Structure formats: C-alpha cells, structure tokens
Structure 1
Amino acid sequence: MTSASLPMARRVRVMVVEDSPVVQSLLRLIIGADPRLEVCAICASGEAALEALPQLRPDVISMDIRLPGMDGLETTRLIMSRFPTPIVVIADAVEDRSLQISMNALRSGALSVVEKPAGFGHADHAPIAETIRTQLYIMSQVPVIRQRPMAPRPVTRAARRPGGQRAQPSIAGIVASTGGPAALARVLGGLPADFPIPVLVVQHMGAAFMPGFAAWLDGIVPMTVQIAMAGQSPMPGHVYVAPGDQHLTIGPEGALRLDRDAPVHSQRPSGSVLFTSLARICGPRALGVLLTGMGEDGAEGLLAMRRSGAMTLTEDESSAVVYGMPAAAMRIGASTIALPLDRIADALRRAVAETTP
C-alpha cells in the first residue's frame, strides 16, 4: 500500500458554543488552521448546544461563558450530566465575573480554560490561537466517563525517623494539572481554616488566570489562599499558589522564592521544582501530594521527597480525571500511598495531628 492510499486519521470534531459572530469567525479560522481539528457545529447558546449534542456527538466542546439565556456554567453542568464530553472553556481572563464562572465550570467538569482569541492584528493572536488549538486537541483525548472502584491503594510504609515516628510536618506541597481546580477545591475544602501548616500549590494553568484562580479558591475553602510572593514567610492556615510562568520554591531561610528558570517537563511553574526544594530544605518535615494531570511533572520531585523521609501521596486512578502524573509517580516508587480524592484531606489532617516523641 502506498502512502497516498493510506487512510487519513479522523479529525477531532469541535463544537463551538459562542454567541459573538466575531469570535465565532475567529474560532472557525483558528480551529480550521489545524489539520487535526474540524468545526462540526457553531451554537450561539447553551440551549442550542444541548439540543444538537445527541445527534452531533462532538469530540470536544469550546465553551463560551457569557451566553444569552443559560450561561456557560449551567450549560457545562447539563452537558456533563446528560452527554459527558470534554469541554474547554474560552474566557475573558481579566473580567472578574467571567473568571468566577469559568472556575466554577472547571469545578463542574470542564477540563481547561484558555483566553478568548485576539484579533489577527493583535500581538497576542498567534500564541493564544496556538494554545486554543493545542488544548482542544489534547482535551479531546481525555475520557470523561470513569467507572472504577473507589478503593485506596497502599504502596509501602512511609519513611520513618529512628524510633519509628514520622517527623512532624511543617509544610505541604500540592501539585495538579488537568482536572486540578476541582481536585484542589475538594482537598483544600477538607482542611480547616486553622490547619497548622502552610500549603504551597502548583496548578498548571495560563498565567492570565492565576490571580482569578487563587481568588476563587480563597472564596470557597476555609484556609486563606493567595498568590505566592517572593520573600514571604509561609504561615499556617495559608495556601500559597505559584503565579503564572514562575517556579515556586522554598529557600534555606524558609522564605518563598520565585524564578523564571527553564521549564521542567515543559512546565513553569513545575511541580517537580517545588517538590525538589521541599525535599532539600524540609526533608521529612514536608508532605507532598500529586493530583490529577497529564504528563509526568511532579513525579521526580515527589521521589526526591520520599527519599528525604517525607510522606508522599498520589491521587488514586479511581478518582483522577487524568491519571498521567500520579501514574508516573507510582511507576518510579515516589508514592507512599495512593488515595481517592475524597480521602486525601483526611490523610493530611491525620498526618499533621501526629506528634513526635
């Protein structure tokens, strides 16, 4: 068989849910420029999208948030309950109300959020367009129906100090990517406002969305959540989120550090960078948690933490939206224990409640 006679791979079918004719045209051109993708429908409202879904069955949906009638959040909820389909939210990154709806859509089952496309003459058009195409293709591959038993998966006993006691934790690091906003809301939502140690968070997300993401988390979890700033001394009961496009680490003096060193595993901020700094500076007095996400970021750093004597947790396959990052950690022996999402907060509470002799 010649190459000319080989069957072409089927294109990913994209449903665009967007009421603005200008943005509709932009998205059609942006998506059409990728040979892997094709627009199968453009719906100007959530109601129209829900009506068309049973017949069209797209591979992925581009979802506007500010829609006439039913907004993008309610549309996302109904799609995920009736016709589960990967959804990429297209949002205005600087508009507060839009950001809040976008984050709640992620909590309701949408997989990713990207900026609305800029016009062709805008300096940011090319990178935003490429991000949209990449996210639509990648998220189209994510299975959104999961039928797995919700059981913990113990790995081995955690590293212990001489005498059989684990060191009292003084800080925790949590890393997440695809599916992370909802997972972080569940884990952090299960920790009290007076949680006795600080929590450092790396979430893979576009830089423009990070302040809004931190503000959204701050409004729905008991602890105080803020974007991390260089030189801060992390305080108990506080969550520090890595800002967009900067690595977050802890320094020898115990203060937070930010830098723009090269991406690790194509990520900046990188979970492995955070975890490695916790292993080096805090050793057995740190906790590491690796949640849902694509790729392998975080696995090597979590292994460094485990080798330093820290307790390390990974999200179990039964609850992870994407099991890539936790699976990578499991493969190399970086995980002390794998737990379903709903049991991770309790494990953290118990870990910090243990007393050293």
Structure 2
Amino acid sequence: MKIGIVNDIAMAAEALRRVVAGSGKHEVLWVARSGEEAVRLCAAQRPDLVLMDLVMPGMDGVEATQQIMQASPCAILIVTAQPQDNVGQVFRALGAGALDVTATPLLMKGGAGDAHLLAKIKTIGKLIRVSLAEPAQAPRPAGGAVRHLLAIGASTGGPGAIAKIFGGWTPAPGTSIVVVQHIDANFAGHFAKWLGDQLTMPVRVIEEGDALEAGVMHVARTNDHLVLDAGHRMHYDANPRDYAYRPSVDVFFRCIAAHWEGEATGVLLTGMGRDGAAGLLAMRQAGKATIAQDQASSAVYGMPRAAAELDAAQRILSLDNIGVALRSRIGDHL
C-alpha cells in the first residue's frame, strides 16, 4: 500500500517511516508535519492509507480527518502517543471517518509496537481490497428470554452514529442491545465508557460468559468474534481466524438469524467494507426487522451499501430516521 504519514514530531514521524518502509510491503508516499499539509498532500497524491496523529498545532487530527474524508476520501488510521489520554478526540476522529486507533511505536526496530502497527495496516489492507471469503457457517448460539434483541453493527463513523441514535432515548423495558463495533480490543473499554457518558442507560463491555440483560447496552470487547449460546450467554470465538473483520458483525447477525426465537432488529451502520451485509440478509430471511443507514448520513458508505445491494435491509434510513424508527418499533422506557 501507498501510505501517508502525518505527525508534527520529527522523531515520531521517523519511527513511523522506518516501520512502514522496513516492512518491505508498503511505500511511504509522503510525510506531512501538520494537518493542513496532510489535507493538501491527500488532494495532490491520494494514498491508500493515512497514519494520522491526533494532537498537532493548528489543524489537529480530528479536523484533518474530517477534511480529508470530505475532499479526498481514503483509509485513515489514528496513530498517536497515549491514545487513552485523548479519548474524546479519538472518538471524534472515528466519527469523522477514521478506521481505527493505535499507539505510536517507539523509534527502535523490531519492537512490539512495530508488529502491532503492521498488523493494523495489514487488516486495513484487507478491508480496502474487500478480498475476503464469507465464513462457511456461523457459530451456534440460540435465542432466548429477552423480549427484544436490538443488534447493531458498525465500523468507520460508528461511535458517533450510535451515540446519536440513543442520545436522549432509553428503549422500553425488556430490550437488550448488543453493539459489534470494529475497534481495537485495547480501546473497547474506553469506547464503552465514552458511550456510557453520552447515554441514559448502562453500557458494559461483554466479558466471556456474560448473560444478556434487558435495559443494558452490551459492547463487544475483543478482536475475536462474539457469539451467543442457548442459555443466552455471550462468548468469544477466534474462528474464523482468517476473517479481517474482528469482531465480525456477520457472525453475530447470523447467530440471531439461526437461533433467536424472540423479536429482534438488526441495524447496520456506517463503515468500510462489507461486514454485516450477509448477516443482515440472514436476519431478514429469518423474519427479523432489518435497517441500514443511508449514503448521505454515512461517514463511509461501504457496509450499508453492501446490505442495500443484497436487499438485506427492509428500510434504508438516515441516521436521524433510524432513531425514529427504533423508537416506533421498540418504544420508550416510561
């Protein structure tokens, strides 16, 4: 891949350049020392992927991400020092269209940070090319006791979209919400805490063996796939191992289609790639309600577009209207 690097600190920019160039698989297309320069370079020489710092003088990484996604859309990975100390900025960048976040590796060869960054780049490369085979079958969970299961899948732009849908709304009693968001496992806890600060309901990361609870938003927390067993307990499964979308929305949606006996609604939000489209179709074919986000309100119209192409969504709605439709279908907590 052709990669652009954005970092105002010379040592950090050099560390990133060495990791990318040293892999032998990628090309450093350019290095920008400011958000403004990154926007200009993306317009002149659009890369496959941008490694974007967050904290910079002048235009920061959030604003640079917004402008690049508007003028010269491409994949963006937030690579910044101590991302856990800038949670608000991280989620604003993800909402603006960044795919994921990771820490800046140190200026040394062969460190764990190098391998982690290269693994992130490899995964994003797969998402860009959408060269993945669908899994042969989903794991074996079963439906259960919660009156209404609301399952949400999202990737690029998902955090902000989810916060907007549920802002000021608590679903009716008996509703359990499960969110499968493409985000690094190391940041899932911060994601759940950030959502909890925005919403009026409890938000919890899913631990191995947790049961579904009504009135709670459950958030997948690992890079393994989320599944649900016959006793309505949630587990993580590493298989299929070669699937780039981790955790996979398709896997969880297909579980619901195959085994959930009660009411269920599947919602596929903004994101790059095709994850969730086949699973949403399986839910529709199983008689569950299905919704996909429309193009105009999506940060990246990839996953919802794939669902529309498969006729997987009964309704294709703007982000605002998704919230209205869910309130109408599920009701409010009185």
TM-score w.r.t. the length of structure 2 is 0.78
Cα distance between partner residues in 2 of 1:136 and 1:267:
11
- Over the matched positions of the two proteins, sequence identity in percent amounts to 34
Cα distance between partner residues in 2 of 1:296 and 1:140:
11
1:347 aligned residue: 325
Task: Find out whether 1:192 has 2:181 as its counterpart.
Answer: no
For structure 1, list consecutive stretches of 5 or more residues without a partner in the other structure: 1-10, 142-167
What aligned pairs does 1:6-21 form with structure 2 within 5 A after superposition?
A: 12=2, 14-21=3-10
Contact 2:155 2:181 in 1 (8 A): yes
Cα distance between partner residues in 2 of 1:65 and 1:34:
26
Contact 1:169 1:351 in 2 (8 A): no
- Give the superposition deviation at 1:175: 0.6
Which of the residues 218, 235, 244 maps onto 1:257? 235
What aligned pairs does 1:1-357 form with structure 2 within 5 A after superposition?
A: 12=2, 14-32=3-21, 33=23, 37-43=27-33, 45-46=34-35, 49=38, 56=44, 58-59=46-47, 61-68=50-57, 71-76=60-65, 85-86=73-74, 87-92=76-81, 95-118=83-106, 119-132=108-121, 135=124, 170-189=148-167, 192-196=169-173, 197-263=175-241, 265-353=243-331
- Give the superposition deviation at 1:123: 3.2
- Give the superposition deviation at 1:139: 6.6
- Give the superposition deviation at 1:270: 1.3
Cα distance between partner residues in 1 of 2:302 and 2:290:
17
Contact 2:13 2:31 in 1 (8 A): no
- Give the superposition deviation at 1:207: 1.8
CA gap 1:112/1:257 in 2 versus in 1, 3 angstroms: closer
CA gap 1:201/1:291 in 2 versus in 1, 3 angstroms: same
Cα distance between partner residues in 1 of 2:250 and 2:125:
26
Cα distance between partner residues in 2 of 1:55 and 1:325:
25
2:142 aligned residue: none
How many matched pairs? 312
For structure 2, list consecutive stretches of 5 or more residues without a partner in the other structure: 131-145
Contact 2:95 2:156 in 1 (8 A): no
Cα distance between partner residues in 2 of 1:327 and 1:97:
34
Structure 1 residue matching 2:287: 3-state secondary structure = coil
- Give the superposition deviation at 1:106: 1.7
Structure 1 residue matching 2:86: 3-state secondary structure = helix
Cα distance between partner residues in 1 of 2:331 and 2:197:
26
Cα distance between partner residues in 2 of 1:263 and 1:254:
24
> Match for 1:121: what amino acid?
G
Structure 2 residue matching 1:198: 3-state secondary structure = strand
CA gap 1:68/1:295 in 2 versus in 1, 3 angstroms: closer
- Give the superposition deviation at 1:103: 1.3
Deviation sequence 1:187-215 (CA, Å, 0-9, x none)? 233x6135431210111122222112222
TM-score w.r.t. the length of structure 1 is 0.74
* Structure 1 outlier segments of 4+, above 6 Å: 136-141
Contact 1:111 1:139 in 2 (8 A): no
